[in-house]
Amino acid sequence: MSRIAYVNGRYVPMRNAVVHVEDRGYQFGDGVYEVCEVRGGELIDRRRHLARLKRSLELRIRMPMTEAALGVVLREVIARNRIGYGTVYMQITRGVARRDHAFPTPEVRPSLVVTARSLQRTRNETLAARGIAVVSVPDNRWGRVDIKSIGLLPNVLARQTAIEKGAREAWLIAKDGTVTEGASSNAWIVTSAGNVVTHPADRAILRGITRMVLFETLKARGLAVEERPFTLEEARNAREAFLTSASQTVMPVVSIDGRPVGDGKPGPVATALRREFHRFAERG
Ligand code: PLP
């Protein structure tokens, strides 16, 4: 079965899913995106993802359609691709215009692309049962990474470094030695006192939707959360480490730069949070 994408008003087979060469997303990375988990064929946390999308559009890119209409497109792409478990991706760019750095005048119609893909549930569960390795790389991104921009070159290079070193994710290290987040995930540790720590939601990280939902999960378990930066050194000596993202939910981290975290196995806190996460996430 050929995969189907939504491109600017049409549902098309992937091989015909093309954008204009002067789309500003292609030329400048002038666009934003969202990724939602799909589980049991249903969107997870759509409302929160669309709220963040709107926030990212503070770049003065117009929403191409109403939120309700976008919800319909998302569900249609999920259905047409028969996604039971996977992700749906949406991208909005400033649109097509003759190449010039400044915004087009008059304003042009924003471009919208939606794609979806299946993920292998058992593969993800096996990964979570083993835990993953991360490596540290300098965080050299721009100053507004709270905007989910499609300009991801530093993230791409960080992930490639991780893969080449036999790890699955890169943790990005600010100039002061603190861990901001992962290349495509938020970073967490559990201290020896049992406190769960993650970077505050300022302009240095993306406000992960999974991160937000996990706060509720933690609260329900009576676990204390500290929203503060932590150093790489602190992470290396932590009892547990894990990361969060829509596609991986809660993923235990068992080594950092080749050194085991705790006993080198997924910790009980991360494992419990992964198990309970979907009780707190919204469906549909
Ligand atoms: N941080 C970055 C840089 C990301 O790209 C992502 C997800 O893609 C996240 C954090 C996690 O965000 P969410 O939980 O909304 O997927």
pLDDT at residue 1 tops 80: no
Catalytic residue among 54, 148, 175, 265: 148
Q: What is the pLDDT of residue 224?
A: 86
Q: What tens digit of pLDDT does each residue of 15-37 get?
A: 999 999 999 999 999 999 999 99
| Residue whose entry in the numeric block shows the structure tokens 């997870």 | 44
| 147 CA distance to ligand 1 middle (Å) | 11
Cis previous bond, 252, omega within 30 = no
| 98 CA distance to ligand 1 middle (Å) | 32
Name the residue of 39, 155, 185 whose CB sits within 8 Å of the most ligand 1 atoms, as the mutation to test its pocket. 185
| 9 CA distance to ligand 1 middle (Å) | 27
CA distance 157 to 170: 9
Q: Average pLDDT for residues 101-110, to the nearest whole number? A: 98
Ligand 1 atom 12, closest CA = 208
Q: Average pLDDT for residues 132-144, to the nearest whole number? A: 98
The encoded tokens of residue 181 equal: 């987040």
CA distance 198 to 178: 11
pTM over 0.85: yes
Q: Average pLDDT for residues 163-168, to the nearest whole number? A: 98
Ligand 1 atom 9, closest CA = 185
Q: What is the pLDDT of residue 284?
A: 82
Atom of ligand 1 nearest to the CA of 205: 1
| 209 CA distance to ligand 1 middle (Å) | 7
Q: Where are the alpha helices (DSSP H) in 201-267?
A: 209-220, 232-236
pLDDT at residue 42 tops 80: yes
CA distance 207 to 219: 18
**In the annotation, is 148 catalytic?**
yes
CA distance 18 to 170: 31
The encoded tokens of residue 69 equal: 């209409």
Atom of ligand 1 nearest to the CA of 148: 5
Atom of ligand 1 nearest to the CA of 186: 10
pLDDT at residue 164 tops 90: yes
Atom of ligand 1 nearest to the CA of 209: 15
| 152 CA distance to ligand 1 middle (Å) | 12
Ligand 1 atom 4, closest CA = 184
* Ligand 1 pocket residues where CB is under 6 Å: 35, 181, 184-186, 206, 208-211, 244-246
Q: What is the pLDDT of residue 102?
A: 98
Cβ atoms of residues 5 and 77 within 8 Å: yes
State the chain's mean pLDDT as an integer.
Answer: 97
